[in-house]
Structure 1
Amino acid sequence: MPTPQRFPLFSLKAVQALLASLCLASSAWAQLKVEGTRLIYLGQDREASINVVNRSGEETVMQSWVSDPQGGDDIPFAIVQPLTLLPPQGHQMLRVLYAGQGLPTDRESMFWLNILEIPRKSEHADSMQFAIRQRLKLFYRPTELQGSTSDAVRNLQWHRHSQRIEISNRSAFHLSLVDLALEGPGLHQPLTDYVLLQPGASITLDARSPVPDGSRVAFTEIADSGLLQNHSAPLP
């Protein structure tokens, strides 16, 4: 009878830390650099594009596609040259085309733009290779929309309910907020690292204790350009 083998047990936190380190390593190992953190497709334009640079000294195969965050199969976008070979230190303008119909005209729609770096076959039999995927948000913004995301951020509605803080987005835009924290006299309490507010949606954040009078929420907006803008909102 074979001798039973004992295997080490790992805590959930240890596994999560390992996965996080692998994600960071994947970003560091990526040879393809996407020059942007998001892509805005304006309804009046024939296409939207973003530049991808091959930072390596070797040819690199790039595959790209658009996917639905909800897992849907009906994707009204196409990629020009979805599979391409980038020369060493070369670049490719990744072009996205919209079918012209199928999406709401009264609010933004969000998709994922996926960019997969496919490694060339190694000459060493015992080497380990990774196919690295980068993913960024693709926002389709219909021509009919008025205003901007910056206007929408300034018009967010904030309410406090004992230990809860409600944020309401009445606009037709997706709003990305980071580093939300509760502030006041002698008070600084982090709330959450990231919030994506969909058009017309509301979310609730939990504080560790009842929110006192005169408190504010400090947060940072991720603008269309990817730049960060700091804000502070009172809590009525």
Structure 2
Amino acid sequence: MTRLTRNTLPLLALLSGCAAPLSQAAVSLDRTRVIFPGGEKSVSLGISNQNAQLPYLAQAWIENEHAEKITSPLVVLPPIQRLEAGATSQIKIQGLPELSLLAQDRESLFYFNLREIPPRSDKPNTLQIALQTRVKLFYRPAAIAAKTGANQTPWQEALTLTRQGDRYLANNPTPYFVTLIDATKTLESASASDFKPLMIAPKAQVDLGVSAKALGDKPVLTYVNDYGGRPQLQFHCSADTCTAKPVTSQRCPSSHDVLT
């Protein structure tokens, strides 16, 4: 029996009436990113077996930002479990004391992996495909966690752009990671052809990867929030510096967005 593994990121959220793309995976996760708040001992994730006829094994693990499998400072419990046909279950991400060794003034990046293992086929020469979901896992220290019930401005709105020649540099002054998935010249225009989704680390600066001419003097960037939503920011430039304002309407996610 041969098993092939390929990555997929199922988009599960329904955003303002937008239909989410369907995943081919039998075992699916209930979110597109994981936030582990500082001060919490664990976080529980929901998983389900979308196959109505067959049981599957669900294997889970965590990787660091270098795609290396780790067992500290976060660990997955249980690392493997059986899901009956159509069943749901939970996976716990447990924090260990080593979390205190991470930076406490900004987020740290990990990756949560969930692989489905199909039942062994009793038919000869059968090709079985095991799909794997990989999503970003952010450890968010208590010092920078949002206060419960507080109506806070999304930190992504603090992004600024700096024009250098024919390039835009995106500046992230916040202690949070920011994922950008689209860049356009106007609210109505198509995506800049050379733009590729990128993530800006806390207190970091990156080149958007497209010419300033392609984005004009009122660039529109789309980011991913904690809930998988895709809000937009329109930038207004004065000289070589551009500041962001939120766009009230929300765009529907495309299949291109699913891999972020």
TM-score in same-fold range (> 0.5): yes
2:56 partner letter: T
Distance 1:200 1:77 in 2: 24
1:223 aligned counterpart, secondary structure:
coil
| One of 17, 20, 25 as aligned partner of 1:30 | 25
Which residue identity is paired with 1:116? Answer: R
Aligned residues: 212
Check whether the contact 1:35–1:52 (CA below 8 A) recurs between aligned residues. Answer: yes
The residue type paired with residue 235 of structure 2 is A
Distance change in 2, residues 1:203/1:89 (3 Å): same
50, 59, 62: which one pairs with 2:58?
62
SS at match of 1:144: helix
Match of 2:36?
41
Task: Note if 1:95 corresponds to 2:97.
Answer: no
In the other structure, the counterpart of 1:17 is none
User: What secondary structure is seen at the aligned counterpart in 1 of 2:104?
Assistant: coil
Which range moved further: 141-150 or 223-232? 141-150
Q: Name the CA distance, whole Å, in 2 between partners of 1:70 and 1:138.
A: 13
- Please identify, of 135-144 and 147-156, the stretch whose mean Cα deviation from structure 2 is larger: 147-156
For residues 16-27 of structure 1, the aligned pairs below 5 Å read: none
Which residue of 1 is the match for residue 136 of structure 2? 137
Give the C-alpha shift of residue 205 in structure 1.
2.5
State the 1:44 CA deviation.
2.0
Residue correspondence of structure 1 range 125-164 to structure 2 within 5 A? 125-145=124-144, 151-164=154-167
Amino acid at match of 1:200: K
Q: Deviations over 1:144-197 (max 9, x none)?
A: 11659953211112111221001111111011111112349x987715241211
2: CA distance, partners of 1:91 / 1:129 = 22
Q: TM-score, normalised by structure 2?
A: 0.73
Q: Which amino acid aligns with 1:230?
A: Q
Percent sequence identity is 21
Kindly report the root-mean-square deviation, in angstroms, between the aligned alpha carbons of the 2 structures. 2.8
Unaligned runs of 5+ in 1: 1-21
Deviations 1:11-32 (A, max 9, x none): xxxxxxxxxxx767x9854101
Correspondence for 1:15: none
SS state at 2:219 partner: strand
8 Å CA contact 1:79, 1:96 repeated in 2? yes
Give the 3 Å change call, closer, same or farther, for CA 71–193 of structure 1 in structure 2.
closer
Report the CA distance shift for 1:23/1:67 in structure 2 as closer, same or farther (over 3 A).
closer
Query: Do structure 1's residue 86 and structure 2's residue 89 form an aligned pair?
Result: no
The corresponding residue for 2:256 is: none
> Larger C-alpha radius of gyration, 1 or 2?
1
The counterpart of 2:234, out of the listed 214, 232, 235, is 232
After superposition, the Cα gap between the structure-2 partners of 1:234 and 1:131, relative to the gap in structure 1 and judged at 3 Å, is: same
1:54-81 Cα offsets, whole Å, 9 max, x none, are 0112111011000112145653111111
Higher relative contact order (CA 8 A, sep 6+): 2
